Homo-oligomer: A and B are copies of this chain.
Amino acid sequence: MSVLSYFPSISLPFTAAHERQVIQIGALIRRLLALVCLALLSLNGHAQQALGQRPKVQSPVIHADGTVTFNFYAPTAQQVSVTGDFEHIRWQTLPMALQDNGVWTVTTQALGPELYSYSLNVDGQRIIDPANSYVNRDISTLSNIFILSKETTDRGHLYQVNNVPHGTLARVWYDSPTLGQQRRMTVYLPAAYDGKRRFPVLYLLHGHGGDETAWGDLGRASQIMDNLIAEGKTVPMIVVMPNGNPTCNAAPGWWHEGMYTPDGNAFRDRGAKASMEESFMDIVHYVDSHYLTIAKRSARAVTGLSMGGGHTFGISRLYPEMFDYYGLQSAAVRFRAGDAQFEQQMARLFASLPKLYWIAIGKEDFLMQMNSQFRQYLDAHNYPYEYYENDGGHIWRNWRIYLTLFAQKIFKD
């Protein structure tokens, strides 16, 4: 088997071992070979496909009617399937069929505009599709992604990279005195950020097991913001995506714990000097002192999913005068009705008259019960909030939708 089929850009037309022999042959042949190599280098991918033994596999193939074909070469496998979020509510597993050329294949039903995630299963082993280099990591699990879009008005359109001005996405290290750490966060600056004009700030929080890369990668935050801003559906804003795990400094592999297997609980026992919520003002202070922000309540929003929805809830109680817009997405709202301190915080929060207290959750979300009880509590106290309910459960598809909706509700006046 040819080593050339591995590592395309670093495997070259002949291997180092061959080169050594070639060196003995003499200057003329070396010169000829160098020329051949240069010609092959300029062909690169094409040359390598020609050199390979197995059929050229393209996967996924997106058809005009919205059906999608997956292909995977595995002539000796007994069972191959693809599992993806092709249906809104549950994962769908489609068995693939072996063709004569050793390629397993299957075509989905017609799919609607959406960002889809999938993986392959080969005789009981979950793997990613080697023909698709677009991959998202969720905790320790890699999945392939693809996007379907037909109209400039559909959801797929909002998630893809369109020919619009793009914001800058930065991985920024900031100092957290409260946690006694240097910590990493992701900062999106809108395309209009020119070093002169000031912008409002949206703080966007991830869930359990996530990190400061989650909203950018799984959540398509920069694409959503680029597109909504370009279409005039929201105002240009700075988006700050911090790391919500006080016992980690950064995403796996990006701090000094090394390249551990991400787990979400790996550092829970370590203890932290403070909670996410308690240390949150370190982030706000850093952002207001390092970027051209509109540093006032009416230009600050905070929203998060699941654990990050819980953080949003905590932040809304701890700093009610700091934010005008709150979004609780599939939130882990651990509310303590009857507790004196909690009741006091809630009274102060709503007395401060936030412009928006938004609660969003899917009908199938396992936190629905908790959110329903929370809404009953808010109703009983005549605390005003907006509520959005849709299909599906505790999944990224819903959180992308919620970001899209929330971003259009904030900083409107």
Contacts and interface: CB of A to CB of B under 8 A. Distances in A.
Given A12-B366, A19-B366, A135-B142, A124 B54 contact: yes
A17 interface: yes
A162 B332 CA distance: 34
A7 B45 contact: no
A122 B252 CA distance: 28
A302 B166 CA distance: 26
Contacts of A19: 364, 366, 393
B77 A265 contact: no
B256 A163 contact: yes
Interface in A134-154: 134-135, 137-143, 145-147
A335 to B, nearest CB: 13
Interface in A1-28: 1, 3, 5-17, 19-20
Contact of A138 (B7, B261, B290, B369): B7
Contacts of A296: none
Contact of A133 (B15, B37, B140): B140
Interface string A243-268: 00000000011111011011111000
B44 A264 contact: yes
Interface residues of A, number: 116
Contacts of A176: none
A135 B8 CA distance: 15
A60 B317 CA distance: 45
Chain A's interface: helix, strand, loop or mixed, by majority?
loop
A254 B166 CA distance: 10
A332 to B, nearest CB: 8
A401 to B, nearest CB: 14
Nearest to A206: B9
Interface in A98-145: 102, 117, 119, 121-128, 130-135, 137-143, 145
A390 to B, nearest CB: 13
A16 B265 contact: no
User: Oligomeric state, in number of copies?
Assistant: 2
Contacts of A145: 259
A46 B265 contact: yes
A209 B170 contact: no
B366 A14 contact: yes
Contacts of A89: 16-17
Nearest to A175: B165
Given A10-B138, A45-B264, A141-B6, A392 B16 contact: yes
A78 interface: yes
A34 B373 CA distance: 12
Interface in A143-190: 143, 145-147, 160-163, 165-173, 182, 184
A43 to B, nearest CB: 7
A134 B37 CA distance: 32
Contacts of A93: 1, 3
A74 B123 contact: yes
A110 B132 CA distance: 33
A167 B250 CA distance: 13
A367 interface: yes
12 contacts: A6-B141, A9-B139, A9-B208, A9-B210, A17-B89, A19-B366, A45-B140, A74-B124, A75-B123, A75-B124, A162-B256, A168-B170
Given A46-B265, A133-B262, A145-B259, 15 more contacts: A6-B143, A7-B138, A9-B264, A13-B366, A16-B393, A34-B366, A34-B370, A43-B265, A53-B124, A74-B125, A75-B123, A77-B123, A102-B124, A160-B258, A160-B259
